Amino acid sequence: MRKSNIIVLAFFILTGMPTPRLQSQTARPRASSVSAYKLTEIKVTGTKRYTPDQIVAFSGLRRGENVSEENFKDIVQRLGETGMFTNVAYSFSFSPTGTKVEFQLADNDKLVPVEFDNFVWFSDQALIEKMQKYVPLFRGEMPISGNLPDKVTEALQFVLAERGLEKARVEVNRHGDEEAGTIDRVIYSISGTSIRIRNIEFPGADATELPLLTRAAQRAQGGDYERSKLRIFARLDLTPIYLREGKLRAKFGEAQAKIVHETPDEVEVDAVLPVEEGREYKLSRIEWSGNIVFPTAQLSKGIHQQPDQTVNAVQLSDDLDAIKPLYQSRGYMKAVVTPQLDLNDADGTASYKLEVKEGDQYRMGDVEIWTLHQGEPYDSTYVKRFLKDTGDLLPPSIKWGVTIHEDLNEKEKTVDVTVRFKPKAAT
């Protein structure tokens, strides 16, 4: 008897659609020709993210079992729906000795990181490992499309149920720039169970800064434990403590939680915020560029920082903010000063380049002042007194014409007053 081999190729070409379309390159054999054959070989090619064993585990195939083409269709369908691949294809060959199948995969490189905001019972790695039996392809990143985000939600709910947290509910939030329509990370959090902060610890903090950190941390005590909020708290409330002391490389690590008390309805934790303080820097120099309206000497008068002093980056930021009203007094409403910091770790010095973008000069247009003392009895002398008291606020180099318009509303018995300032033409 002559042995025959039949090879069938089929491809999924994924174009962002959650359910790709199957295309066959050869005539499909009758089901009876393949369904009776045992699976003798499984091969996986193309993917660098996963090992062949991981893809085989996802497929559910086992060598020695009887398979049909419908099994392969189902597997590539499920692989495509995850969103983890840009291309999915399979080919198989069968003969009286058995069936061989190969899955050809192309990894999707447009993935975003996943954050677990308040799963205080597990470390990130332990949580990912527990989820492997539910979502074997999840490794801490995911695509923004496909069904993997929902599968992870279901898996997290199972993990919580295994721990007896029946009231906890998993929520997912896609974080990013709404205007740009981009997503930079996916955040999973728990609701239904109150998780409160008792204290905050700062491993790595020096004895000098620790009292300041502890005092600032009191604002977060009693609040909800959420790593995303603690990250913002560290940036806005804690990092400035170091910036005032010249420790310009200070940075806080990701928050961790230690459970100190737990009931079915509430969990109390100590938050742990590790910090790397870094060294202290002194100012070497400040250089200005781009300023035309105001000379460097005048702008420098507003800077408190002097060379050889410990850098106070918070004070410098305040000084630069104060320059904006100076420019606005000359009509440069969009003037900005952008600092560029250069750190020299060899000698512990910091230098700043302050780039000024003055922008266009704006001139006075129309000014309307309305709803003054709304609802009170109208005093017709008010406008004249107002002009007398505020006349010195107008630029003295321009002659102004003032128009007063009183609009009586007979129904409401109110008076709407419009005061219009318009520069007079030069004569």
- What's the pLDDT tens digit per position in 58-78? 999 999 898 888 999 999 999
Indicate if 295 and 385 belong to the same structural domain.
no
Indicate if 330 and 397 belong to the same structural domain.
no
Question: What total number of domains does the chain contain?
Answer: 5
Q: What is the pLDDT of residue 68?
A: 86
DSSP 379-390: -TTHHHHHHHHH
CA 115 from centroid of its chain's CA atoms: 11
**Range of 229's domain?**
194-276
Q: What is the pLDDT of residue 397?
A: 63
Q: Which two tokens stand for residue 197?
A: 């902060």
Q: What is the DSSP letter of 117?
A: S
Domain boundary among 79, 107, 135: 107
Domain boundary among 107, 132, 158: 107
Which residue has tokens 């199972």? 158
Domain boundary among 107, 131, 149: 107
Indicate yes or no: pTM above 0.75: no
Indicate if 31 and 65 belong to the same structural domain.
yes
Cα separation, 368 vs 359, in Å, equals: 26
Which residues does 150 contact at the CB level (< 8 Å), separation at least 6? none
Indicate if 103 and 14 belong to the same structural domain.
yes
Q: Region 255-273: what's the mean pLDDT?
A: 95
Is 48 within a domain? yes
Q: Residue 215 is part of a domain; what is its CATH number? A: 3.10.20.310
Is 307 within a domain? yes
pLDDT, tens digit, 9 for 90 and up, residues 369-386: 555 556 666 666 777 777
Is 1 within a domain? no
Indicate if 397 and 426 belong to the same structural domain.
yes
Identify whether the C-beta of residue 20 lies closer than 8 Å to the C-beta of residue 88: yes
Indicate if 239 and 253 belong to the same structural domain.
yes
Choice between 308 and 401, residue whose per-residue pLDDT is larger: 308
Indicate if 83 and 12 belong to the same structural domain.
yes
Indicate if 95 and 122 belong to the same structural domain.
no
Task: Answer yes or no: is pLDDT of 413 > 70.
Answer: no
Residue 270 belongs to what H/E stretch?
strand 266-272
